Amino acid sequence: MSKVIRIGVSSAFMYPDINRPTFGKKTLCFIEKDMANFISKEGIYPVLIPDFERKKELYAFLEDLDAFVFQGGNDLAPETYREKPIGKWKGDIYRDKYEIEILDYALKNKKAVFGICRGAQLMNAYFGGSLYQDILTQRKDSIVHRDALEYDQLTHFTEVVEGSYLYKITKTNLIRTNSVHHQSIKELGEGLECMATCKEDGVIEAFQWSGAQDGKVIGVQWHPEFEYNCKEELFDSSKLFNQWLNLIKS
């Protein structure tokens, strides 16, 4: 029997809300359904990482995981990348701290990491980069990157940096990706290499960390897990993700 690969997925959180009919006074940890389906393959198990109160328990749990995916969700708190809020976008500093602890463990233990949307932004902040707290507020020349009604049907062309790791997989310098974010990378973190940008406004769409093997530590701003139901023909991100899985298996 071949070895089972356990992919640790950082939790998204729903905090206590007495107006919620169930678990109103409790914090919920969850993985979004499409994300679980995207990761799950034969011999590949997504494992939700609980919010342990003690680091000893967290580290013991992380030791049994082979790689890590950081999923989308709430904004990062501006304080996480050394800024103050400029408006209503306060972010989720509790989740930031929880995920940075996991990311730090993963990188120090040479584990593979795949960041998606918020996950990519978190990685950028970890490496000292910064974010636009709201793209349309801070970049008047930008296109709309998030529409509540269109949601995962909103797409744009993305330019792939020639010679980059992503270029070797796409074999083209122009792909189409979905867009479900109102924040984005402003300054790229130390040691991160840009692999793709939005064709219309230059927003960074993908990067990898130069401190690891090509393709082992990657962040993408789009949502690969939402591609299955898009009306537009998108770049098949499973090609990138499967290469990432191959690095874990080797």
Given 182, 205, 223, 227, the catalytic residue:
223
99 is catalytic: no
223 is catalytic: yes
CA 119 → CA 19, 90, 200, 226, distances in Å? Answer: 29, 17, 23, 15
233 is catalytic: no
Which phi and psi (to 5°) does residue 48 adopt?
Answer: -70, 130
CA 108 → CA 69, 104, 121, 217, 232, distances in Å? Answer: 16, 6, 19, 12, 39
Given 145, 181, 205, 225, the catalytic residue:
225
Given 117, 198, 205, 227, the catalytic residue:
117
Q: What residues act catalytically?
A: 117, 223, 225
